[in-house]
Amino acid sequence: METTPVVRSAEDREAIRQRFLLVDTSNVADVLDTLGLFNQGLSSVLTPYPASSGKLAGWAYTIRGQMSPYELGGDPDKMKACSGVSTGDVTVWSGDGEGVCYFGELIAIGMKERGCVGSLVDGGIRDIRWIAEQDFPVFARYRTPVQSIARWKVNGWQVPVSVRGATSQWVTVRPGDFVLGDEDGVLVIPNDMVDTVLVEAERLTEKERLIRTELQQGLSLAEALAKYGHV
């Protein structure tokens, strides 16, 4: 069922994003399960480039493309798509591209200038060393030096897209959903569930903090489980 994205002010969007930076994907995944959202995890092939890329947290801005041979000279629709990115967005790239990069250093710089806080790429990237110098987290399916020009074209943006899933073949990502990625992997949180998920994830995070503290002070694991239950 399609839902209307919740309208949030720029201040609220950033405040929520900063709070998500303080919780782990593992806690968020547990919350999603309790809410009956069992297939929001993305495939483990989507990994950070480089490994030290950092945490990915932001609002989905979707870009879709396909393999489509054309003459050298650039893809104007890719530039149009990227020009719509705004503060706090994570660009989510999808499509049937294989063996080619969807974007590299220069597009990353341009998106960062517009306030973009990272990218999720169900496809290829290049210029990894230089992107790393931009402090711009990127999770991607593969890396390749082969450019997309003359091979792969953008054919839509800010539309629902499909990204490879962890427990399902595909996960639908809609504009305005929240994307969260860390060392454990990447999740997509539906826009209308963001606030509910965040509050509960923060509660679990605090619960785990208390358990760690008590374990360090000598509480046994069995005693911790008896006191706090499963975490």
In a domain, 196, yes or no: no
Phi/psi region, residue 73 (left: phi>0; alpha: psi -120 to 50; beta: rest), is: left
Q: Which pLDDT value is given to residue 177?
A: 98
Identify the domain containing residue 110 by its residue range. Answer: 10-191
In a domain, 169, yes or no: yes
Does 174 appear as a known binding residue? no
Residue 77 neighbours by CB under 8 Å, 6+ apart: 153, 154, 155, 157
In a domain, 216, yes or no: no
Which tokens in the block code for residue 51? 């490994």
In a domain, 68, yes or no: yes
Does 106 appear as a known binding residue? yes
Does 105 appear as a known binding residue? yes
Does 95 appear as a known binding residue? no
Q: Which pLDDT value is given to residue 1?
A: 54
Q: Which pLDDT value is given to residue 101?
A: 95
Q: Which pLDDT value is given to residue 220?
A: 77
In a domain, 222, yes or no: no
Q: Which pLDDT value is given to residue 224?
A: 65
pTM recorded for the entire structure:
0.92
- State the CATH number of the domain containing residue 41: 3.50.30.40
Closest by Cα among 119, 112, 159, 158 to 141: 119
Domain count, the chain: 1
Does 104 appear as a known binding residue? yes
In a domain, 28, yes or no: yes
Residues 210, 151 contacting (CB under 8 angstroms) = no
Q: Which pLDDT value is given to residue 222?
A: 74
In a domain, 142, yes or no: yes
* pLDDT by residue, tens only, the chain of 231 residues: 566 779 999 999 999 999 999 999 999 999 999 999 999 999 999 999 999 999 999 999 999 999 988 888 889 999 999 999 999 999 999 998 899 999 999 999 999 999 999 999 999 999 999 999 999 999 999 999 999 999 999 999 999 999 999 999 999 999 999 999 999 999 999 999 999 999 999 999 988 887 777 777 777 767 766 666 666
Q: Which pLDDT value is given to residue 42?
A: 98
Q: Which pLDDT value is given to residue 230?
A: 65
Does 215 appear as a known binding residue? no
Q: Which pLDDT value is given to residue 160?
A: 98
- Say how far apart CA 66 and CA 130 lie, in whole Å: 26
In a domain, 227, yes or no: no
DSSP string, 103-145: E-HHHHHHHHHTT---EEEEEEE--HHHHHTTT--EEEEEE-S
